[in-house]
């Protein structure tokens, strides 16, 4: 027995969502399956979207002690809302939407920032080795795939909205633990091997309590994965009454006890991108029967404070009345705080990705399966044709870094040795209680290389080694200047020492 919305109520609207019109979107009787992780129109995923997430409370809190946030805030730089069709691949869509928004913010035209969810689903499972025998995944695994292997333009491998079945391959006959090809809809076209790969510098988990700090400081989105509760989402597969008006507005409330009980009987998960918040947006809490929750005095109890998010169910149904646009929604602060995990990534550098021949970490930047000197792109690179002479230069300034000062502090090593550089590594030792304030730049021979740029949030210190491939082929001799800038007020630190390790011929 499945009960759908009443025809005369489907497009009804109220002047307020405080006391929403309630309908029964799905009634499950004896013998019915109940909610499933997949719905023909609005699919969710297996509840593995948070797999591998660290303890949220153990992550650094990036909020400044004196931080004051506006009551409402929203970033821009978004690509159009997409639909995942009938496949449970929300994490691939959430991650791809974030990658697109990062490229847009970095300067790519919106029309060009259209990447392939189909490829990312395949690459995360086949190249990164994540979630090989399930349709679902996590935004973390997908973003790490983009960091290491890159993604491609949508036109190179267009997304297929329906999952493979036995009609596509006899091995895809349903059930669990199917071959990976059943969850990726086969292998990519041969042309994908030579397609330009678009990468990100790094990805990281963040404390959900730090989302406001991230949105306001970086002006970029955050992927969040969580357990799915059907009545909270006003989903058509809910066994409890739901609200058509809240669905159209994209409102997702904190689940009541009965919603938790029923939804967790067959767990599902979902992933989205948070792009803002509204402290003052509120709705009436609902009980298991869909009725307003009231206090002892008979007053309706409100839930106040919601994240603004971008979903992946298209723009024509869920959130169709949302102020930001169709496909966006409001997600309960309390819901995310209790059930969510958050991951984000840094801005990319625009341009076709080329192999970095002097990358000490041995990363395959262009995604062709060969790294550094093993890549034919590096055949004529100085670092691959000559071992050269290693030299080390150090400085120990032990100098204070001015707080919130654009001029920062600079320290110079004057090198008189001659030769042509084939490899350069920079090691810095900086003590600072909030390294997310710091920007570190190495300058030599007319080239400025930013090696560290306000990442890491509230973590302590920058004691790291960075490859500096931009100096390959330049003269060793001359002034090498390290500049450290503290970009925000309150926390101060010290540039203790720094070291250059060079190879030249």
Delineate the domains of the chain, giving CATH numbers in brackets: 7-57+67-345 (3.90.70.10), 354-380 (no CATH), 386-504 (2.60.120.260)
The answer to whether residue 35 scores a pLDDT higher than 90 is no
What is the reported pLDDT for 15?
Answer: 30
The answer to whether residue 40 scores a pLDDT higher than 90 is no
pLDDT, mean of residues 139-156: 95
Say if CB 381 and CB 373 are below 8 A apart: yes
pLDDT, mean of residues 66-74: 95
- Write the CB contacts of 240 (distance below 8 Å, at least 6 apart in sequence): 230, 231, 258, 259, 262, 288, 289, 290
Q: How confident is residue 2, by pLDDT bands cut at 50, 70 and 90? A: very low
The most confident of 17-21, 75-79, 354-358, 361-365, by mean pLDDT: 75-79
pLDDT, mean of residues 201-213: 95
What's 327's DSSP letter? T
For tokens 């009231």, what's the residue?
A: 294
Lowest-confidence segment of 35-49, 50-64, 255-269, 320-334 by average pLDDT = 35-49
In this structure, what token pair is assigned to residue 156?
A: 């190179």
For the stretch 409-440, pLDDT in tens is: 999 999 999 998 988 999 999 999 988 899 99
pLDDT, mean of residues 461-486: 93
Q: How many CA atoms lie within 13 A of 443 on its CB side?
A: 11
Nearest to 259 by CA among 8, 501, 25: 25
In this structure, what token pair is assigned to residue 269?
A: 């998960």
Q: How confident is residue 177, by pLDDT bands cut at 50, 70 and 90? A: confident
Measure the CA–CA gap between 493 and 484, rounded to whole angstroms.
Answer: 10
Lowest-confidence segment of 263-267, 367-371, 393-397, 465-469 by average pLDDT = 367-371
What is the reported pLDDT for 361?
Answer: 53
The answer to whether residue 321 scores a pLDDT higher than 50 is yes
Nearest to 339 by CA among 278, 281, 270: 270
What is the reported pLDDT for 454?
Answer: 87
Tell me the H-state helices in 86-150: 90-106, 117-126, 139-148
Say how many C-beta atoms besides its own lie within 10 A of residue 48's C-beta: 20
pLDDT, mean of residues 113-139: 95
Q: What is the mean pLDDT of the chain?
A: 87
The answer to whether residue 22 scores a pLDDT higher than 50 is no
Measure the CA–CA gap between 132 and 140, rounded to whole angstroms.
Answer: 15
The answer to whether residue 52 scores a pLDDT higher than 70 is yes
What is the reported pLDDT for 199?
Answer: 93
Say if CB 292 and CB 19 are below 8 A apart: yes
- Write the CB contacts of 295 (distance below 8 Å, at least 6 apart in sequence): 301
pTM tops 0.85, yes or no:
no
């Amino acid at each position: 027995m499945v009960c759908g919305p009443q025809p005369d109520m489907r497009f009804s609207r109220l002047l307020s969502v405080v006391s929403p019109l309630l309908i029964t979107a799905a009634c499950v009787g004896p013998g019915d399956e109940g909610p499933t992780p997949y719905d023909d129109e609005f699919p969710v995923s297996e509840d593995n979207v948070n797999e591998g997430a660290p303890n949220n409370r153990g992550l650094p809190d990036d909020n400044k002690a004196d931080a004051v946030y506006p009551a409402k805030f929203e970033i821009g730089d978004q690509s159009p809302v997409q639909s995942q069709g009938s496949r449970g691949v929300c994490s691939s869509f959430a991650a791809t939407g974030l990658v697109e928004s990062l490229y847009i913010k970095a300067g790519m035209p919106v029309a060009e920032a259209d990447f392939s969810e189909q490829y990312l689903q395949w690459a995360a499972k086949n190249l990164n080795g994540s979630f090989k025998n399930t349709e679902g995944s996590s935004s973390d695994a997908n973003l790490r795939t983009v960091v290491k292997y890159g993604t491609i333009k949508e036109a190179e491998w267009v997304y297929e909205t329906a999952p493979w079945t036995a009609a596509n391959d006899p091995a895809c006959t349903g059930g669990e633990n199917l071959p990976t090809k059943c969850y990726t809809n086969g292998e990519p076209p041969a042309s994908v091997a030579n397609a330009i790969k678009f990468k990100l510098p790094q990805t990281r988990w963040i404390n959900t309590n730090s989302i406001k700090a991230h949105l306001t400081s970086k002006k970029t989105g955050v992927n969040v994965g969580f357990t799915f509760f059907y009545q909270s989402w006003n989903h058509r597969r809910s066994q409890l009454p739901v609200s058509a008006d809240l669905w159209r507005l994209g409102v997702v409330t904190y689940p009541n006890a009965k919603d938790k009980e029923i939804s967790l009987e067959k767990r599902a998960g979902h992933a989205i991108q948070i792009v803002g918040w509204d402290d003052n947006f509120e709705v009436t809490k609902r009980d298991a029967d869909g009725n307003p929750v009231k206090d002892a005095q008979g007053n309706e109890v409100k839930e106040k404070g919601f994240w603004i998010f971008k979903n992946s169910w298209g723009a024509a149904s869920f959130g169709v009345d949302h102020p930001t646009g169709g496909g966006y929604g409001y997600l309960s602060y309390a819901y995310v705080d209790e059930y969510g995990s958050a991951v984000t990534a840094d801005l990319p550098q625009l341009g076709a990705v080329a192999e970095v021949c002097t990358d000490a970490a041995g990363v395959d930047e262009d995604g062709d399966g060969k790294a550094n000197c093993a890549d034919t792109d590096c055949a004529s690179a100085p670092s691959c044709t000559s071992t050269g002479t290693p030299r080390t230069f150090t400085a120990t300034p032990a100098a204070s870094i001015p707080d919130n000062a654009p001029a920062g502090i600079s320290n110079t090593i004057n090198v008189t040795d001659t030769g042509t550089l084939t490899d350069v590594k920079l090691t810095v030792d900086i003590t600072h209680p909030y390294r997310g304030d710091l920007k570190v730049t190495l300058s030599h021979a007319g080239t400025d290389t930013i090696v560290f740029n306000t990442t890491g949030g509230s973590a302590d210190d920058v004691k790291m080694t960075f490859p500096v491939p931009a100096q390959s082929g330049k003269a060793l001799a001359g002034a090498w200047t390290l500049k450290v800038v503290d970009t925000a007020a309150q926390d101060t630190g010290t540039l203790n020492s720094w070291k250059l390790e060079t190879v030249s011929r």
